[in-house]
Amino acid sequence: MQNWILPLTTLLVCALSFFLLLRDREMHPVREGVTPEPEALKKDRQYMLIYAASAVVVLLVLSLCLPGMLPGNTVFDNLKRMLLLAVIWPVAYIDYKTYRIPNAFVLMGLAVRVVLLPFEFLADDRRAMYMLISEVVAAGALFAAAMLCSVCAKGSIGFGDIKLFVVLGLFLGTTGSWGAIFTALLVSLATVLFLMATKRKGRKDSIPFGPAIVIGTFISVCLTGM
């Protein structure tokens, strides 16, 4: 059953995410009152389409391979992981370009999770309740930890990242969230070191965390299935 459910639902949610990406009005902001040149906008659109096509192909391949890679996972385990990735893949591109994570993707993630929940209870209500408790605990713990970091080290994490952490918790639960966040931190650290070593960024420059979150979540799902 997963052989067609996973790729079809992944493709559907990827299409919705791509629609939100296209409709984002701040992808080409006017800076200092100067409108970007048409040629620059054209190149930006080309890069965006290349990224979108690559992301969708990778997620479709993963959706086909995941049941075989992780035979211990249930169909809902795999669905939650794939749909989470299908929702958040544009976040990496948008945060990289504009240093922001649109609420539309956070709301979409919450909506997808709510739609999936009744089917989990119909399949196995006891396991669904256990997983729901785990996910709510993870979302609350990630929110609290992120808010604490934001207060103790101002500028270390944006509110968009905090909202994205909550979405991760609601999809991955306590078992998967920590692996995703830990991997995201490693990716972020490696990115910062590379940018500073190549003098593309300085110590006081802002570096978007969204791409690291997306990449870290993808790597964590591929390696652990959590």
> How many Å from the N-terminal Cα to the C-terminal Cα in the chain?
20
Q: Quick check: 196 pLDDT over 60?
A: yes
Structure tokens belonging to residue 54:
């690559």
Per-residue model confidence (pLDDT) at position 184: 92
Mean pLDDT of the chain: 87
Q: Quick check: 112 pLDDT over 50?
A: yes
The model's pLDDT over 152-173, given as tens digits with 9 standing for 90+, comes to 877 668 888 999 999 999 999 9
Alpha-carbon torsion angle 6, 8, 10, 11, nearest 10: 160
Work out the average pLDDT over 62-84.
87
User: Among all chains, which residue has been given the structure tokens 């922001």?
Assistant: 100
The sign of the CA dihedral 189, 192, 196, 198 is positive
Per-residue model confidence (pLDDT) at position 80: 93
Structure tokens belonging to residue 205:
């420059």
Quick count: other Cβ atoms within 10 Å of Cβ 28? 16
Per-residue model confidence (pLDDT) at position 30: 46
The model's pLDDT over 9-29, given as tens digits with 9 standing for 90+, comes to 999 999 999 999 988 866 655
Q: Give residue 36's pLDDT band: very low, low, confident or very high (50, 70, 90).
A: low
Work out the average pLDDT over 80-106.
93
Q: Quick check: 193 pLDDT over 60?
A: yes
Using alpha carbons, select from 24, 62, 74, 112 the residue that is nearest to residue 217: 62
